[in-house]
Amino acid sequence: MKKLVTFSDSSFLMGAILFTLIFSFSSILIAQNIEKKDHRYGGYARLFSMGDNPYVVDPDNIKLNPAYASMYSNFLWGDIGSNNGNPTDGNGQFAGVNFDLNNNLTLGLLLARDDFQSMSIARLDRDNIVNNINTTVATNVIVPLNNNLELLGAYKFGSFVVGLGVSYASTSREVTPATGTGDKGTASQIGANLGLMGKVAPGFEFDFSFSLLLPSATFEPGTAGADKISGSNTFMYANARAMVELSKKFTFVPTVDFFNGSGKVEVGANSTDLPSELAFGVGLGLQYKVDNLIIVGGPAFMYSSQSQASTTTTPELKNSTMTFPAWNLGAEWGFTEWLYGRLGYVASTFSRTTQSPVTATTVDELSFTGFGNGDVRLGLGFRFGGFNLDATINDDVLREGFNLVGGGTRTFAYLSASYGF
């Protein structure tokens, strides 16, 4: 029986392939003699390796703010994702493209799977309303949502850009018996976001976005007299960021975020509220940039809460978390025209309060201090003409060696790719 050669056990082969690709692309780059840099590069892998940095402008910003499509026009981008144990698949994959129609108008689209993780309207069924209804019915009568399509556009007027995005996904499952009426399950999600960015004054730029997501699911039983079951969520997210130039090298980057989520499940004439969510945060970032070096980061304050309405048998329950400081620190430097290195660090301290019911009117409350795991991030960026490949690197490779040359840990943890044309 032939043995299947996998990514993890073919280190010599992968090393040879990687060396050949780098050598070939480097030769092409030198031959092209590029005089002007193309700053259309990046993605989630870049931001992650720079400490999940919210203080950096990147094509990943398009997910939340469609106005950024104008900055990254004529641009093909997406995530190859991370390994999930299946050699033919990966987690977090998506693809997007933006086209310039003229000097002012850019149109684009983004296609995302059900494992897409972001506050973007491309994210599907954030609080699993489909699974909630399937659990209520005790069988998988509704097909989970997948393949979310987002259409977006950005329009320039003067020093400002306005962007608009809309997304939609749906599924259905219907049983048609020889006689009588069969069960029917449907699910859908509608999303919309509005973005704005621009220069208010010399040395002062800003961006703002607002997103609305409306996932829902319905089960209509074919059995006569059985109750219809439906559920829905409403999610709203707003984000604002300013970029204030303090000097030629230093830029102050404050951020503000707000999130609100609610939902309900209806069984016949009875309605039950799902836990409501509220979150807001403020970040204070500072960016230092000179030549091919960027050092950026800062502290943030975040508050989040989840509330469950009271019932006839339980009191109202509220859990909350206050985080301060949450650190997002990162650096990027260009070794050569085609190779970039990245380093990041994240850490946080939080105070959490949880409640549990004792009687129909009383609760026990627990409050404690905790710490988010401090995490070092490493990354590389490869730039060959208009093509860019960005990768996060497992920090274990510094201790165990690169997988491509015999180490025991996968070298690249997450991959993003893009092409400017």
What is the per-residue pLDDT across 205-235, written as a single tens digit (0 to 9) for each?
999 999 999 999 999 999 888 999 999 999 9
Inside any domain, residue 128: yes
* Shared-domain flag, residues 110 and 188: yes
Percentage, residues of the chain above pLDDT 70? 86
Worst-scoring range by mean pLDDT, 173-177, 188-192, 205-209? 173-177
pLDDT band, residue 236 (cuts 50/70/90): very high
pLDDT band, residue 89 (cuts 50/70/90): low
- What is the distance of C-alpha 379 from the center of its chain? 18
Inside any domain, residue 349: yes
* Shared-domain flag, residues 225 and 81: yes
pLDDT of 397 over the 90 cut: no
Give the model confidence (pLDDT) of 262-290 as tens digits: 999 999 999 999 999 999 999 999 999 99
* Shared-domain flag, residues 335 and 188: no
Inside any domain, residue 44: no
Range of the domain at 226: 64-239+260-272
Mean pLDDT confidence for 249-271: 97
The number of residues making up the chain comes to: 421
What is the model's pLDDT at position 33? 39
* Shared-domain flag, residues 266 and 177: yes
Inside any domain, residue 45: no
Inside any domain, residue 311: yes
* Shared-domain flag, residues 268 and 326: no
Worst-scoring range by mean pLDDT, 62-76, 367-381, 396-410? 396-410
* Shared-domain flag, residues 284 and 415: yes
- Give the phi and the psi of residue 154 in degrees, each rounded to 5: -135, 135
* Shared-domain flag, residues 343 and 203: no
CA trace torsion 76, 82, 84, 85 (10° rounding): 100
Inside any domain, residue 42: no
The b-or-e profile of 55-70 (16+ CB within 10 A means b, else e) is bbbbbbbbbbbbbbbb
pLDDT of 404 over the 90 cut: no
Interacting residues of 287 by C-beta distance below 8 A, sequence separation 6+:
55, 56, 243, 250, 251, 252, 253, 294, 295, 296
What is the model's pLDDT at position 121? 96
Give the model confidence (pLDDT) of 99-150 as tens digits: 999 999 999 999 999 999 888 999 999 999 999 999 999 889 999 999 999 9
Worst-scoring range by mean pLDDT, 9-23, 28-42, 158-172? 9-23
* Shared-domain flag, residues 347 and 373: yes
* Shared-domain flag, residues 123 and 265: yes
Residue 347 in contact with residue 327, Cβ under 8 Å? yes
In total, how many domains does the chain have? 2
Give the residues across from 217 on adjacent strands.
187, 231
CA–CA separation, 276 and 213 (whole Å): 15
* Shared-domain flag, residues 197 and 210: yes
* Shared-domain flag, residues 374 and 404: yes
pLDDT band, residue 81 (cuts 50/70/90): confident
Mean pLDDT, all residues of the chain: 89
Inside any domain, residue 292: yes
* Shared-domain flag, residues 267 and 301: no
Inside any domain, residue 54: no
pLDDT band, residue 91 (cuts 50/70/90): confident
